[in-house]
Amino acid sequence: MTDVATRTADPATDPDEARVREAALRLVADHPPEKTSPEEFLGAQFDAGLAWISFREGHGGLGVAPRLAKVVQEVLRGTGAPNAVARNPIGHGMGAPTVYTHGSDAQRERYLRPLFTGEEVWCQMFSEPGAGSDVASLSTRAVLDGEEWIVNGQKVWTTVAHLSRWGMLVARTDPDQPKHKGLTYFVVDMHAPGVEVRPLFQITGEAEFNEVYFTDVRIPDAERLGEVGEGWRVSITTLMNERVSIGGGIAARGTGMIEIAVRAWIEAGRPGGAARDELMKLWARSEVLRLTNWRASQNRAVGTPGPEGSIGKSAGALLNQAITTYAVGVTGAGGMLLPDGGYPMARPRRMAMDVSSTQKAFLRCRANTIEGGTTEIMKNILAERVLGLPGDVRVDKERPWTDVPR
């Protein structure tokens, strides 16, 4: 049976697909991955319009449907080509769509190419100690001073902030407006005076996340994304792309997290009975999610995706936890032990979730139902925007932010 996730259209009836495939083949021929540095290869990929193919030409794209990104993946798979997402996950999945959708031409030209090559890593600074699931209640302030904004406040759970050159920042610019209306969105230089990054160590022993402090940090008004007071609208672009980035990946059949469970089952001696039955259930769930994400990608909007990302994010988080729980369980008593040598501590270039060992994957996946929006928030989004159910009670929606108790 043909795998629906890899089936390709007839180039004679889909000229865009033929164009993308030809460009990808030419990229590999002209820049053999084994002889080309990652930065050079990814730069050439960007220039060929194969970075984000739905973006306009000149901005890393070809102006074609997002679904055709799978053609690029098919051509590059197995060639040894560098993975742009792994080099800059926050920038690639969230920063680029936000800059492309809301930035000026000057900002697109300045940021997109080095973002894709991984030469300039990005982070996202929304959450605060008092504003997690309710991001719009944030209190970090930005005050206009001539042509600059002065920022003071604190952000938390900022992934790879310690490695980042640029950050996406939402700050309150008008506290007398309701919480959603008084926000403005900025690109901030993470090396600017007054920016302090402190690591947060996780249960795995690593420090992917950080808290970031701003003390009289000056941001030029030219680094604002969107209009003053339109920060929430710009943030939605970032958040919806974040959910797609986290939960919308389309791995090849049998790869990804389910591979951990299969590996653990094999290492345990391929037990039958309940252990085998549970593995088959997890395999089926993984395949359903993979194909659901593939179908969703066919209709994904450029810029601000629809709520389909919340489906993949919510289902994927719970599935990851179930898979790693199974993997640790089938390992037996050894699943309670540290792997040989323990866990590596915060690595200088650690970008994404490390699942190098079954035990570490189990611990790291506990965060999946929290990061990028909690599962409860994802359910609210799906209930309201997909099922059309009444929204949550929001007693502070129209009240000035200054009047809301915190």
Residues marked as catalytic? 242
Q: What is the Cα–Cα distance from 96 to 118, expressed in whole angstroms?
A: 12
**CB contact at 8 A, 398 and 176:** no
Beta bridge partners of 184: 171
Rg (CA), the chain: 22
